[in-house]
Structure 1
Amino acid sequence: MFTGIIETMGTVSQLKEEGTNLHITIASSLTAELKIDQSIAHNGVCLTVVSLNEDSYTVTAIEETLQKTNLQYLTVGANINLERCMQMNGRLDGHIVQGHVDQTAVCVLKKELDGSWEYRFKYDGSKGNVTVEKGSVCVNGISLTVVNSAADEFSVFIIPYTHEHTNLKDVDEGDAVNLEFDIIGKYVARLVSTGYTG
């Protein structure tokens, strides 16, 4: 389980295809603290560390993960948001995040305001995922508050700290981001769609 509070950014240093899998090597200040088999969220995608070097580590994304996330668009040199799994005695500063991306969205607006940034994202509403005003959503692994919620799009406002310390600063209009919708909201939506009455 994760919280959506990004610890640091890593830099993609190598991409290697093997069959339908993609091995992603990331240079990161966290490397010295990692171990094989550890789970880390990469742009919100939970992946397992499979090898370690002095200043970098490697994870593997399978075809299904690549098809459902923006990891398929990674390039060498790209920044990637990183978060290690939550410790049981840690504070839940963001919200409950599983590291299971539901779908991608496209940035349709990036607007610099007086001291903040507005981003608007559009996604395929036919998949049954929803946002609610002032609810939580995970964008590229970042726990954010929803504003201007609609059936297939929503906005978020980003403070300078988040803009500087995550890869949202690299996201432009037309770029894909990973979305993980609030787990409680997903259960409620599923119960409503099946007509569950308790």
Structure 2
Amino acid sequence: MFTGIIESLGLVRNIVKEGENLHISIECDFTSELKIDQSVAHNGVCLTAVDITDNIYTVTAIKETLDKTNLKHLKINDKINLERAMILGDRLDGHIVQGHVDQTAVCTEVIEEDGSWVFSFDYDSSLNNVTIEKGSITINGTSLTVVNSKKNSFSVAIIPYTYEHTNFHTFKNGSVVNLEFDVIGKYVARLLEK
């Protein structure tokens, strides 16, 4: 379980393909605190640390994960949003985030305003995921509030702190991002289908 409050930006240091899997090695400032088998959200994708060497740890993304996320697009030196699992009893500063990406979206517009940014995204609505105005959405693991909700698109407003401390400052038109829709909304949508 995660909160969607990004803890650190990691740097991708190595990518090794093995069969359908990718072994992704990441350098970050909390590597020394990790243990093998610990869960970390990577751009919102919950992955398990399988190796730790000095200040670099490695995770493995399997085909199912690669098919549904933007991790297949990672390159050496890319910045990646990181969050360790929530500690029971801690504040829930974002919203309930499972680390299970529902689908990807494409950034269609970045508007710089006076002191903030508005990012717009398109996604495939045929997968039955929905956003609602002022509802929660997780983009690359970052807990955000939806604005301008439409059937297959939405926007989010980003404050300077989030812009600087997540990989939002690397997004441009065409950037592919991971989406995790609000878990309560997903259950309601499923119930309405029945």
TM-score by length of 1: 0.97
Aligned to 1:66: 66
Aligned to 1:96: 96
Q: Matched residues in 2 for 1:27 and 1:161: separation?
A: 21
Aligned positions, number: 194
The alpha-carbon deviation at position 191 of structure 1 amounts to 0.5
RMSD: 0.4
Q: State the AA in 2 paired with 1:193.
A: E
Aligned to 2:53: 53
The alpha-carbon deviation at position 193 of structure 1 amounts to 1.1
Q: Matched residues in 1 for 2:27 and 2:183: separation?
A: 31
Structure 2 gap segments, 5+ residues each: none
Q: Matched residues in 2 for 1:93 and 1:192: separation?
A: 29
Aligned to 1:42: 42
* 3-state SS of 1:90 partner: coil
Aligned to 1:19: 19
Moved over 3 A (4+): none
CA shift digits 1:143-168 (9 cap, x unpaired): 00000000110000000000000001
Q: Matched residues in 1 for 2:193 and 2:125: separation?
A: 14
Q: Matched residues in 1 for 2:168 and 2:68: separation?
A: 19
Aligned to 2:138: 138
The alpha-carbon deviation at position 74 of structure 1 amounts to 0.1
Aligned to 1:127: 127
CA shift digits 1:83-108 (9 cap, x unpaired): 00001110000000000000000000
* 3-state SS of 1:146 partner: strand
Q: Matched residues in 2 for 1:119 and 1:150: separation?
A: 14
Aligned to 1:148: 148
Could you tell me the percent identity over the aligned residues? Answer: 63
